[in-house]
């Protein structure tokens, strides 16, 4: 299976630039059930995982 591209996702970049934009809000909603994001997020080291969780207010898979 191919590596996850979540770290370089264009939609994630849009969220980082403008979280209130339609695309930004769509990406944030999407990560709640995306299997690729789950794989990427759970593969992060604990300190990086906590940084990402805080940045995106993401509490799943902790």
DSSP 35-58: HHHHHHHHHS-HHHHHHHHHHTT-
**Residue for token digits 């898979």?**
61
Length in residues, the chain: 62
Please report, for the chain, the start and end positions of each structural domain, with discontinuous segments joined by +. Answer: 7-55
pLDDT of residue 53: 95
The whole-angstrom separation of Cα 14 and Cα 19 is: 7
**Residues 10-62 pLDDT 10s:** 999 999 999 999 999 999 999 999 999 999 999 999 999 999 999 999 998 87
Which pTM was predicted?
0.86
């Amino acid at each position: 299976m191919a590596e996850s591209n979540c770290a370089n996702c264009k939609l994630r970049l849009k969220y980082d630039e403008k979280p209130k934009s339609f695309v930004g809000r769509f990406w944030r909603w999407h990560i709640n059930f995306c299997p690729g994001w789950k794989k990427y997020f759970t593969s992060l080291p604990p300190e990086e995982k906590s940084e990402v969780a805080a940045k995106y207010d993401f509490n799943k898979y902790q």
